[in-house]
Structure 1
Amino acid sequence: MVPPELAHALDPGRSRLRPLPAAIGELLVSLRAPARLAAHLRAVHDVAWQLTELLAARCPALAFDRDAVRYGAASHDIGKVVHVHELTGPGSEHELAGEALLLSHGVPARLARFARTHAVWTARDTTTDDHLVSLADKIWKGKRVPDLEDLVVAELAAAGAVERWEAFAELDEILDELAADADYRLAYQARHPVHPRSSRPSTDR
Structure 2
Amino acid sequence: MIDRQFEPDQLPADAAALLEELGAPPRLVAHLRLVHDVALRLLAEWGEVLGADAEEVRYGAATHDIGKVLHPEELSAPGSLHEEAGRALLLARGVPPGRARFAGTHASWTLPGISTEELLVSLADKVWKGRRQADLEDLVTERLAAARGVPRWEAFLELDDLLAALAQDADARLAHQASFPLPAR
> For this structure pair, what is the TM-score category when the shorter chain's length is used for normalisation?
over 0.9
SS in 2 for 1:124: coil
Matched, 1:45 2:33: no
User: Which structure 2 segments of 5+ residues have no match?
Assistant: none
Amino acid at match of 2:114: T
Q: Distance in 2 between matches of 1:23 and 1:103?
A: 14
Q: Is residue 135–residue 148 contact of structure 1 (8 Å, CA) maintained in 2?
A: yes
Q: Distance in 2 between matches of 1:167 and 1:42?
A: 28
Q: Distance in 1 between matches of 2:163 and 2:38?
A: 10
Q: Distance in 1 between matches of 2:179 and 2:167?
A: 19
Question: Could you say which residue in structure 2 is the equivalent of 1:164?
Answer: 152
So what's the TM-score if we normalise by structure 1?
0.85
Deviates more, 1:42-51 or 1:174-183: 174-183
Q: Distance in 1 between matches of 2:179 and 2:144?
A: 36
Deviations 1:71-119 (A, max 9, x none): 1011000000001111111111100000011111111111100000100
Question: Could you say which residue in structure 2 is the equivalent of 1:135?
Answer: 123
Aligned length: 181
Identity percentage of aligned residues = 57
Question: Could you say which residue in structure 2 is the equivalent of 1:91?
Answer: 79
Matched, 1:33 2:12: no
**How many angstroms does 1:159 deviate by?**
1.4
Q: Distance in 2 between matches of 1:139 and 1:100?
A: 26
Q: Distance in 1 between matches of 2:86 and 2:52?
A: 23
Deviations 1:159-199 (A, max 9, x none): 1111000000011111112112111111110011112xxxx
Amino acid at match of 1:175: L
- Choose the corresponding residue for 1:124, options 112, 118, 128: 112
**How many angstroms does 1:48 deviate by?**
0.4
**How many angstroms does 1:47 deviate by?**
0.5
Question: Could you say which residue in structure 2 is the equivalent of 1:104?
Answer: 92
Q: Distance in 1 between matches of 2:69 and 2:86?
A: 8
Q: Is residue 51–residue 178 contact of structure 1 (8 Å, CA) maintained in 2?
A: no
Matched, 1:190 2:178: yes
Q: Distance in 1 between matches of 2:58 and 2:20?
A: 19
Amino acid at match of 2:181: P
**How many angstroms does 1:61 deviate by?**
3.4
In angstroms, what is the RMSD of aligned CA positions? 1.4
Structure 1 runs, 4 residues or longer, greater than 2 Å off: none
Q: Distance in 2 between matches of 1:164 and 1:23?
A: 37
So what's the TM-score if we normalise by structure 2?
0.93
